[in-house]
Amino acid sequence: MEHGHTKYPIGHIIGFLLSLAMTILAAIVALRSGLPKPAIMSIIGVLAFMQAGMQLFMFMHIKESDNSAVQIGNIIYSIIIALTIVLGSIWVMHN
Amino acid sequence: MIWTCPIINTKGWEENRLKLDEFFVTGEPIIYVTEAGIALAMIGILFYLTYFKKWKWLWNNWLTTVDHKKIGVMYILVAVLMLFRGGVDALMMRAQLTAPNLKLLDANHYDGIFTTHGTIMILFMAMPFLMGLINIAVPLQIGARDVAYPMLNAFSFWTFAAGCALFNISFIIGGSPTAGWTSYFPLAGTEFSPGVGNNYYAVALQIAGIGTLITGINFLVTILKMRTKGMTMMKMPMFVWSVLIMCIIIIFAFPVLTVALALMTFDRLAGTHFFTMAGGGMPMLWSNLFWIWGHPEVYIVLLPSLGIYSEIISTFAKKRLFGYKSMVFSMLAIALFSYFTWVHHFFTMGNTAAVNSFFSISTMLIAIPTGVKLFNWIFTIHKGKVKLTSAMLWSLAFIPNFLIGGVTGVMLAMAAADYQYHNSYFLIAHFHYTLIPGVAFACFAGLHYWYPKMFGHMLNEKLGKITFWFWMVGFNVCFLPQFVLGLKGMTRRMYTYQEGLGWDNLNMVSTVGGVLMGIGFLVLVWNIAYSIRHGERDVTGDPWDGRTLEWATPTPIPPYNFAVAPVAEEIDAYWNMKQKKTPLYKKVDVKPIHMPNNTGMPFVAAVGFGLGGFGLVFSWWWLAIVGLIIVLGCLAWRSFDPDKGHHIPVKEILETEEAARGEVV
Amino acid sequence: MSDHLDTSLPLEYQSEQSRLNIFGFWIFLGAEIALFATLFATYFVLSGMTAGGPSQLDLFKEKDVMIETILLLVSSFTCGLAIFSMRNHNKNAMLAWFIITLLLGAGFIYFELHEFIDYVHEGATMQTSAFLSGFFVLLGTHGAHVTLGILWGILLIIQVVRNGLNPVTSRKFFIISLYWHFLDVVWIFIFTFVYLGGLIQ
């Protein structure tokens, strides 16, 4: 496992600024844009997943180590399970 | 103690002002007798330990051990005790239902018994039995020295034990839970189940569940990262594959139970409205969350059981398991599908047709990979040199009996038809036909099979076969009539029934079957006791001419398992070594072995869990906080503990090996 | 378990036990995702059941939410800087950034408690309605995780001050950083689907 040591934490700074931007963008879309609710939810939902994914790679070093394949697989599978639990429950309970 | 919390409005929290005769369960002769029995047994044990000065031995060898082999034995010991209790619960139910309008048990007592029967058999009998066998066999089968996190392994066991102990005292102190092992709302809420019984359910299962989740992570990492040289994933024993997949299911299913039980705890102890009808809560949400966990749970117990059968069938047919790849893929498929079938447990709860249709189909789909496995076992046996040991008898009996359970499952999977079957004795018969031949038989089979590895002597084969036949006959006599009873309209969880419904004779027959199983259990216990003195001693470490690496260890198994990690070249690694006459290792390759130290932290933490849990059950917040502090304190202490373990020097290793095997080359 | 250290790797990955522990923690995070998913599912199912009591629009305040979000996001960033310093073998910088991380986390908890107390004073407790039960337990679980993280972090600070930066202490810091980042990731979803979702007119 190779890890290049950079002198400055460029990855983290970019990650932080992008997260900040996505957060503020989501807030603006939700609170100030006047779009219809389904559109807002879709946009901010996508932004949330994008920000989460980006933090996984840029902050949490998920691709490091020999176990990266299993680690990434584990997170992907957990997202599948999470979506099943959330969407499944909403669907089943909806009446 | 009235304390108004500034953050959460506690004015609605009722203090349980308990009188002494509400604290201790009173008025039931059966319970008094049981209390006396338990008290006597405990006094006996304390006396034995003190008189023979065994306290230090107990602490050093069992209470603080981190050795997977010992932890496995402790799990199985608890499981057998719980099998006794769950079995007595069952016999009491059968006794009460033998004839119409019997008055052995009143309704409330009956409710408590079927609740504890179900909860104990699944969570405190099957799970620990399997965890015990997994602990003993898996590290050995992969050629490892121990699991990835030995201290956490002990922590899992003791946490489980704390939850188990807490659940078991309920029938003496405060009262059993009475809302069924599924604990549906609104019955399970404080409006319809006042008192502490259901608090026991919520808290004890929560504590035990923590142990299970940690075990899931532990064995997943162990199997992925600690296999010996040469053992690629597709060369692992099938039991190890089944455990790996079980771990994946545990990791993603148990957190759902954790949340569900926590929400139940909040509803019962803090007046929230998750599942209550007041305040906008939804009782059906409980069922939804419970079964999102609950269906994967049955595969958590089933898959390692199927793994055990794979090992035993191939060993006693003297043939490599047929269809290795399809066995692996079918288990992966089962694990994946199991997350998408949960609604079949409540087809009749008012879901839309679209929901019911989806889950009907997904449920039927699971039968396919399961069927693939059944065929693979049959093909393994075909043209094999079959040896009918007890373990093999259990495994062979599994096939036709589980089949009945499986096909009735497909019948139940049809949502429209399920409106007739749901919550009838047809359902009860179905799940007993899957759980008993599927899981319980595997536990007995695995016990017979790995017994020499655990204790250095065999269980008596003749007594083993007698046990088997009592169960084989008794089980079918007990449960086959229940399919018919269900079709005749007998509902689940009824404490008595009228005459003239046509149910009398079948119930009586069913009770006879139950008694036969009880006798079989007694024969098993006698077998265990008898074999301590008279059981055939295992001197080779390989009494069955086994195929996998656990049989490469000597008897008794040294604490470090393998002096030198074996090299696995093929599936059935040890069989392969025996065929090629490969020596296990050379003396020159022996190096000092690093082993983890014993630690008392898991035991102390479990005491904390037990005390804290007890406090929560009775809403004694001070005790709950004390328990929490003990647990957190243990974790903090452990964080500071350098625990570098110890090394076993080469000289000691060689002495151990020579004593066990004779001359080492 | 061999004692051999692989010095070609970053400090926290050098011992075999460390690699096992870090890997095991990632697996544990998968379980935590399932846990929070269940809490989210519960919240979403119950979010409309206000039982005549206050709803999301009645209660949530934009300003508080943004403050909490920024505090936690910045703390995740400073946590990353702490690990970066650790990788550059700079113990003092690591400690400094890490202490800032915990302080920001404490700030987050302070604002969150303030928010909850305000709600209680407005008559919105977790016993008021199913929506509020779901809200408080989801947010409370996240907040409890953050609080536990702060306590855990203090213990680790003591250990690194005493024992210095070695394969064991660096591994412990790496693991808590994974935990801390994870909590911010969960907050992204709380911010988006609970707060923003609830504040849409």
pLDDT at B658 over 90: no
pLDDT number for residue B295: 97
Number of domains within chain A: 2
- Does C6 reside within a domain? no
- CB-CB: which of C22, C27, C197 is closest to A41? C197
Task: State whether residue C140 sits within 8 Å of chain A by CB.
Answer: no
Q: Looking at the structure, do residues A18 and A44 belong to the same domain, yes or no? A: yes
Cα B145 to Cα B563: distance, rounded to the nearest angstrom: 9
Average pLDDT over residues B430-445: 97
Q: In the structure encoding, which two tokens stand for residue B305, read together?
A: 């059981």
pLDDT digits (tens, 9 = 90+) for B214-236: 999 999 999 999 999 999 999 99
- Does A81 reside within a domain? yes
pLDDT number for residue B9: 43
pLDDT number for residue B259: 98
Question: For residue B614, what is the enclosing H or E element?
Answer: helix B601-617
Candidates B190, B165, B193; CA nearest to B178 is B193
Contacts of B225 in chain A (CB under 8 A): 67
- CB-CB: which of B248, B282, B340 is closest to A93? B282
Chain B nearest-CA residue for A85 = B292
- Does A3 reside within a domain? no
Predicted TM-score (pTM) of this structure:
0.95
Contacts of B256 in chain C (CB under 8 A): 34-35, 38
Q: Are C69 and C116 in contact (CB under 8 A)?
A: no
Q: Looking at the structure, do residues A59 and A22 belong to the same domain, yes or no? A: yes
Q: Looking at the structure, do residues A32 and A70 belong to the same domain, yes or no? A: no
Cα B470 to Cα B37: distance, rounded to the nearest angstrom: 27
pLDDT band at residue B446, thresholds of 50, 70 and 90? very high
pLDDT band at residue B4, thresholds of 50, 70 and 90? very low
Chain C nearest-CA residue for A55 = C185
- Does C1 reside within a domain? no
What percent of chain C is predicted at pLDDT more than 70?
99
pLDDT number for residue B439: 97
Written as one string, the DSSP assignment of chain C is: ----B-TTS-GGGSBHHHHHHHHHHHHHHHHHHHHHHHHHHHHHHHTT--TTS--HHHH--HHHHHHHHHHHHHHHHHHHHHHHHHHTT-HHHHHHHHHHHHHHHHHHHHHHHHHHHHHHHTT--TTT-HHHHHHHHHHHHHHHHHHHHHHHHHHHHHHHHHH-S-HHHHHHHHHHHHHHHHHHHHHHHIIIIIIIHHH--
Average pLDDT over residues B309-323: 96
Number of CB atoms found within 10 A of residue B480's CB? 17
pLDDT number for residue B644: 83
Q: Looking at the structure, do residues A71 and A58 belong to the same domain, yes or no? A: no
Q: Return mean pLDDT, chain C.
A: 94
Q: Which one of B264, B272, B595 would you mutate to disrupt binding with C, by most C Cβ within 10 Å of its Cβ?
A: B272
pLDDT band at residue B319, thresholds of 50, 70 and 90? very high
Q: In the structure encoding, which two tokens stand for residue B313, read together?
A: 């069938």
Please give the C-alpha separations between residue B67 and each of B130, B157, B652, in angstroms, as whole numbers. 17, 12, 18
Helix pair B283-316, B238-270: axis angle to 10 deg: 160
pLDDT number for residue A34: 87
pLDDT number for residue B34: 86
CB pairs under 8 A between A and B: 31
- Does C195 reside within a domain? yes
Could you tell me the residue range of the domain that residue C96 belongs to?
A: 11-200
pLDDT digits (tens, 9 = 90+) for A13-58: 999 999 999 999 999 999 998 899 999 999 999 999 999 998 988 8
- The reply to whether residue C31 touches residue B270, judged by beta carbons under 8 angstroms, is no
pLDDT digits (tens, 9 = 90+) for B33-65: 888 888 899 999 999 999 988 999 999 999 999
pLDDT number for residue C2: 62
Please give the C-alpha separations between residue C116 and each of B280, B343, C140, in angstroms, as whole numbers. 21, 35, 9
pLDDT at B24 over 90: no
Average pLDDT over residues B249-256: 98
pLDDT number for residue B10: 47
Strand segments, DSSP code E, in B523-655 are 593-595, 646-648
Number of CB atoms found within 10 A of residue C105's CB? 24
pLDDT number for residue A59: 78
- The reply to whether residue A89 touches residue B289, judged by beta carbons under 8 angstroms, is yes
Helix pair B601-617, B621-640: axis angle to 10 deg: 160
Q: Which residues contact A53 (CB under 8 A, 6 or more apart)?
A: none
pLDDT band at residue B504, thresholds of 50, 70 and 90? very high
pLDDT digits (tens, 9 = 90+) for C91-125: 999 999 999 999 999 999 999 999 999 999 999 99
pLDDT number for residue B12: 41
Cα B597 to Cα C1: distance, rounded to the nearest angstrom: 13
Which residue, chain included where needed, has tokens 């950083």? C177
| Chain C neighbors (3+ CB pairs < 8 Å) | A, B
pLDDT number for residue A4: 52
Q: Looking at the structure, do residues A53 and A87 belong to the same domain, yes or no? A: no
pLDDT at B6 over 70: no
Q: Looking at the structure, do residues A30 and A51 belong to the same domain, yes or no? A: yes
pLDDT at B14 over 70: no
- The reply to whether residue C120 touches residue B6, judged by beta carbons under 8 angstroms, is yes
Number of domains within chain C: 1
Q: In the structure encoding, which two tokens stand for residue A32, read together?
A: 């100030």
- CB-CB: which of B224, B256, B343 is closest to A92? B343
Q: What is the CATH number of the domain that holds C31?
A: 1.20.120.80
Residues of chain C with pLDDT under 50: none
pLDDT at B413 over 80: yes
Average pLDDT over residues B585-591: 88
- Does C4 reside within a domain? no
Helix pair B127-141, B197-225: axis angle to 10 deg: 10
Q: Looking at the structure, do residues A12 and A58 belong to the same domain, yes or no? A: yes
pLDDT at B599 over 70: yes
Could you tell me the residue range of the domain that residue A82 belongs to?
A: 65-95
- CB-CB: which of B248, B288, B339 is closest to A93? B288
Chain B, window 625-644: residues with a beta carbon less than 8 angstroms from a chain C beta carbon: 632, 636, 639-640, 642
Cα C174 to Cα C169: distance, rounded to the nearest angstrom: 9
- Does A83 reside within a domain? yes
pLDDT band at residue B632, thresholds of 50, 70 and 90? very high
Q: How many residues comprise chain A?
A: 95
Question: For residue A76, what is the enclosing H or E element?
Answer: helix A68-93
pLDDT number for residue B21: 66
pLDDT band at residue B19, thresholds of 50, 70 and 90? low
- The reply to whether residue C77 touches residue A93, judged by beta carbons under 8 angstroms, is no
Q: Return mean pLDDT, chain B.
A: 93
Question: Residue B636 half-sphere exposure, CB side, CA atoms within 13 Å?
Answer: 16
Q: Looking at the structure, do residues A37 and A50 belong to the same domain, yes or no? A: yes
Does the bond joining B237 to the residue before it have cis omega, within 30 degrees of 0? Answer: no
Q: Are C167 and C11 in contact (CB under 8 A)?
A: yes
pLDDT digits (tens, 9 = 90+) for B338-360: 999 999 999 999 999 999 999 99
Task: State whether residue B274 sits within 8 Å of chain C by CB.
Answer: yes
Cα B215 to Cα B222: distance, rounded to the nearest angstrom: 10
Q: Looking at the structure, do residues A79 and A90 belong to the same domain, yes or no? A: yes
Cα B513 to Cα C177: distance, rounded to the nearest angstrom: 58
pLDDT band at residue B2, thresholds of 50, 70 and 90? very low
- Does A29 reside within a domain? yes
Q: Looking at the structure, do residues A29 and A47 belong to the same domain, yes or no? A: yes
- Does A1 reside within a domain? no
- Does C142 reside within a domain? yes
Q: In the structure encoding, which two tokens stand for residue B353, read together?
A: 């047709």
Q: Which residues contact B346 (CB under 8 A, 6 or more apart)?
A: B284, B287, B288, B291
- CB-CB: which of B216, B262, B280 is closest to C49? B280
Q: In the structure encoding, which two tokens stand for residue B288, read together?
A: 């939804």
Q: How far is A57 from chain C (nearest CA, A)?
A: 11
